[in-house]
Amino acid sequence: MNGRTVRDLRRANRTAVLQRLYFDGPLSRFELGPATGLSSGSVSNVVADLVADGLLEEAGSVESDGGRPRTLLRVAPGSGHMIGVDVGETRVRVELFDLTLTELARTERPLTQQGYDVEVVVGHIRDGLAEVLADTGTDPKTLLGVGIGVPGIVAHTPESGAVVHGQTIGWDAVPLEALLRTGSALPGDVRYFIDNGAKTLGQAEMWFGGGRGARSAVVVLFGSGVGACLVTPEVEHGRAVEWGHLTVRVGGRRCRCGALGCLEAYAGAESLLERWREAGGRPAEGVDEESALTAMLAAAWPPEGEEADPVALAVLDETAEYLGAGLSDLINLFQPERILVGGWAGLQLGERFLPAVRRHATAYALRYPAGKVTVDLGRLGPDAVTVGAAILPLADFFARGGRRPEPAPGGPAPAWRTALEERAPH
């Protein structure tokens, strides 16, 4: 006996059918059998349940061999909604998605002079949630949850739910979930899924981007700072790793975290621009970091016929070496099949920057794992963190077989407490 109940089996069967239709649909009942490994009777029962729950709908038909046409099924887009939030370096982005991750609404709020002031960020998230729901007339009761990608390490406590330890942004044990629930207009049983932004980026790339089909990958978030998400068969849903705070130079530059010689002090966009300035470059004044990096790249790689800025080129070459050396640590430690570089700065640097990074990563890494890894840009663009954040409640929904969490007797339990209890080891 493996301890599985009939209810566990039904949930697993519902999950199998939902996920197969989600990623490979539309499919007929006949095709779902071999695709899921379930018997035809089990497929019929599960499909009937999911149709009754409003999660599946018909999507036309296909001819069969000598018989009646077979009805195709797909996941019903309007049967649920998710919200993804990216607490980024220059703004807070909030996006509303239907169940098939089609974007329905978005809003952005800049983070300028106040930086990462906790009350400002919490206010931006609260206002953004209300705005995307109001803009679309979406009933909050249809939400499967709110996923939020943040800088730093996320821990969970029974008292406060998700707590963020963001040393580089001045957040010391910020009870973000509890703060968001205070005064929130969302129903009390709506779940918050708060995790490191590199992990949500990794989640998106593994489901829909450059990591799809890989057994092991590292997805790098290259923005103002740097971070990474590790996905292996043992860490199926990914784990954020504080890669930006590996020491790459003893006694080196001081990082935003306060330590000396971190990778982030050399390879993040903030440090890249600072080093250009120190070397005599002229970063654009009075603009945000993304615009300043765009100006630096234009100076280093000008249109044909114009002279390149040798200082900007030298700083970019040095950055490529530091980034490549940092990737070599990931290659040696985890031996991934793929490394994907995302984040706004990584996407801006783009394909022109990658050959040098690959060259240095190979030079610093052991030959065997270096020969088996590919290093490429992520495929999902600047919205990857919000998409990945929205995937967090979607993945939880799938794991439940498409059922919403049931309120505790006597009223709904706090969503964070329910989530903790379900994830606690037995």
Cis peptide before 409 (omega within 30 of 0): no
Q: Any idea which of 12-21, 57-66, 126-135, 205-214 has the lowest mean pLDDT?
A: 57-66
Residue 49 pLDDT class (50, 70, 90 cuts): very high
pLDDT in tens, 353-394: 999 999 999 999 999 999 999 999 999 988 899 999 999 999
Q: Is there a contact between 220 and 228 (Cβ–Cβ < 8 Å)?
A: yes
> Would you state the pLDDT for residue 287?
81
Distance of alpha carbon 314 from the chain centroid: 32
Name which of 188, 153, 184, 149 is nearest 389 in CA terms. 149
Q: Kindly report the number of other CB atoms within 10 A of residue 351's CB atom.
A: 8
pLDDT of the residue at 413: 39
pLDDT at 158: 86
Q: pLDDT tens across 404-418, in order?
A: 866 533 333 343 333
Residues 6+ apart with CB under 8 A from 224: 89, 90, 268, 269, 270, 289, 345
Answer for the pair 177, 126: CB distance below 8 angstroms, yes or no: no
Helix H or strand E segment including 11: helix 6-24
Output phi, psi for 179, to 5 deg.
Answer: -65, -40
pLDDT above 70: percentage of residues in the chain: 92
Indicate the pTM of the whole model: 0.87
Q: CA angle, corner 12, sides to 30 and 36, nearest 5?
A: 25
Q: Assess contact for 41 and 13: CB atoms under 8 A.
A: no
Give the pLDDT confidence score for residue 289 in this predicted structure.
Answer: 86
E strand or H helix at 329: helix 310-334
Confidence (pLDDT) at 305: 85
pLDDT cut 90: percent of the chain above it: 70
Greatest mean pLDDT range, 49-63, 298-312, 362-376: 362-376
Distance between CA 257 and CA 326 in Å, rounded?
17
Mean residue pLDDT across the chain? 88
State residue 236's pLDDT score: 65
CA–CA gap between residue 386 and residue 94 (Å, rounded): 7
**Alpha-carbon distance values, 123 to 42, 92, 131, 229, 413 (Å):** 47, 10, 12, 28, 24
Identify whether the C-beta of residue 106 lies closer than 8 Å to the C-beta of residue 153.
no
Q: How many residues does the chain have?
A: 426
Contact 220, 339 (CB under 8 A): yes
- The residue with tokens 């996923």 is 147
Q: 340 with 378: CB under 8 angstroms?
A: yes
pLDDT of residue 249: 92
- Strand runs labelled E in 199-284: 217-222, 226-232, 235-241
Report how far apart, in Å, the C-alpha atoms of 406 and of each of 138, 412, 414 are: 21, 8, 11
Who wins on pLDDT, 418 or 231? 231
Establish how many alpha carbons lie within 13 A of residue 388's alpha carbon, considering only the half-sphere containing its beta carbon.
Answer: 36
Average pLDDT for 297-312: 91
pLDDT digits (tens, 9 = 90+) for 70-79: 889 999 999 9
CA–CA dist 339, 181 (Å, integer): 36
Nearest to 221 by CA among 393, 89, 83, 120: 89
Q: How far is CA 326 from CA 11, 216, 218, 248, in A?
A: 42, 18, 12, 7
Distance (Å, rounded) from C-alpha 223 to C-alpha 243? 13
Which pair of tokens denotes residue 204?
A: 């998106």
Mean pLDDT of all residues in 210-221: 92
